A = this chain, B = another copy of it.
Amino acid sequence: MSDAAPPPDVLAGLAAIVGSSHVVTDPDLIAAHLVEPRGLYQGRALAMVRPVSTEQTARVVALCHDRRVPLVPQGGNTGLVGGHTPDSSGREIILSLQRMNRVREIDASANAMIAEAGVTLANAQAAARDADRLFPLSLASEGTCTIGGNLSTNAGGVAVIAYGTARDLVTGIEVVLADGRVMNGLSKLRKDNTGYDLKNLFIGAEGTLGIITAAALKLFPNPRSMATAFIGLADPAQALRLLEIARQFAGGGVTSFELIPRIGLDFVFAHMSGPRDPLGSRHRWYVLLEISSQMATGVDETMASMLHAALERGVIEDASIAASHEQRLAFWLLRESLSEVQGKEGGSIKHDVSVPVGAAPDFLARASEAVEAFMPGARVVSFGHLGDGNIHFNVSQPIGADRRAFLARWEAMNEVVHGVVAQFHGSISAEHGVGRLKRALLKRTKDPVALDVMRALKSTLDPRGILNPGKVL
């Protein structure tokens, strides 16, 4: 795998810990783990090591610490910023947590679940459901992504508006430190003020400060009923008004609120044969709204009277309530296909940004103007989690433009969009993290004192720099 001479004793040491079949060097078996899903980064690795337990992970890390071998932790390999892809040196070892896939405990009375890092998000959701509970984290890659990756990147998704990000769903974690010591913090407590909040230091640190091996996760009552509506309206400002009305009627029961532009639907209808427009006529913008309730009945009436009020106040133009589970899935398919169909319209330059919630409509208007001025004909496809102020502000190439030439302007386009983000004191990475993709950008945009503190924490917790080097900082 590497031009550098592999240190065979390290590999032998790893094999002694995890078994030789779990120190993977076969190019065919390791290939898929060397490239990130969008193909932006292609790395190499000395090996991929697959521990099955915290104890094995601790010994692997201790050995690599001792020998100063850099480690790249990896879960489901679904991240979008190259945070889990090795560099091109061939010196790094991929530390795959996928075999640590046990749900250790479900404690329904404490509304808690202890899951290992390699449990896929879908399996964590299913385990909660089996106990008549809800684990609310939900995102497009949930069948593949893992709890360890979700926590290390502080994943967001489509239920943040009601339940928060991954960070908000954790009461405790177990972490292997850079020197191989295990910090046992698997607390199921909802309140605990005994000392510094260490868990949030490792959550969202993208594997650069420690290896999260397991987590105590919050569970919630499983909703008894749900209503889903697909709503047409004039613009994002009206969408925010709709959100306010929805909260008046349903309070914390508003569990999803996704903004979709007409161009996104046009792309879906152009490239997929199944989906149909849920509404009779065209609208400039849409909202996919979901309301959940702990009552078995009443949620349909709440949705209907809420939409009626919004229609009467001129906030929305039309709406369709899902009449069946199939129709609900059809609504969601429209939302979840948006990224994929953009790929069929040529190059797409991505931005995962956030602004203060109330500023989102102005941000969308101003950023769209800036893109049009920068590159006439470029097509803004901005969608996502409006209620969190988090917009996936993607730009598809002008019709007929050269894909490669368009993508060559990725960074210049970023400059334009992130410049507008800065005017609104927004974030250049709302939910995807920093990884390698936004490392240089972070250095330019983050408060310099905060960057200094981050560097000091990195030196303290990983003095030899073996944990995911070259990521974040």
**Chain A residues in the interface with B (C-beta under 8 A):** 107-112, 153-154, 156, 160, 165, 167-168, 177, 181-185, 187-198, 200-201, 203-205, 209, 221, 224, 240, 244, 247-249, 251-253, 293-295, 354-359, 385, 388-390, 425-434, 438, 442, 445-447, 449-454, 456-457, 459-461, 472-473
Contact = CB atoms under 8 A, between A and B. Distances in A.
A457 to B, nearest CB: 6
Contact of A357 (B110, B385, B456): B110
Contacts of A428: 194
Stoichiometry, copies per complex: 2
B460 A193 contact: no
Contacts of A209: 196
B196 A457 contact: yes
9 contacts: A110-B356, A177-B449, A181-B452, A189-B430, A191-B431, A192-B430, A195-B454, A196-B454, A197-B204
A389 B189 contact: yes
Contacts of A295: 248-249
Nearest to A430: B191
A376 B255 CA distance: 51
A168 to B, nearest CB: 7
Contact of A445 (B168, B194, B388, B460): B194
Contacts of A427: 187, 189, 191-194
Contact of A188 (B356, B449, B451, B453): B356
A181 B450 CA distance: 10
B107 A358 contact: yes
A411 to B, nearest CB: 17
A151 to B, nearest CB: 12
Nearest to A435: B193
A191 B389 contact: yes
A198 B329 CA distance: 39
Given A200-B197, A294-B247, A427-B191, A110 B358 contact: yes
Contacts of A184: 447, 449-450
Contact of A425 (B168, B187, B293, B456): B187
A321 to B, nearest CB: 20
Contacts of A459: 460
B357 A109 contact: yes
A134 B22 CA distance: 54
Given A154-B193, A197-B203, A356 B447 contact: no
Contact of A183 (B167, B449, B472): B449
Nearest to A463: B456
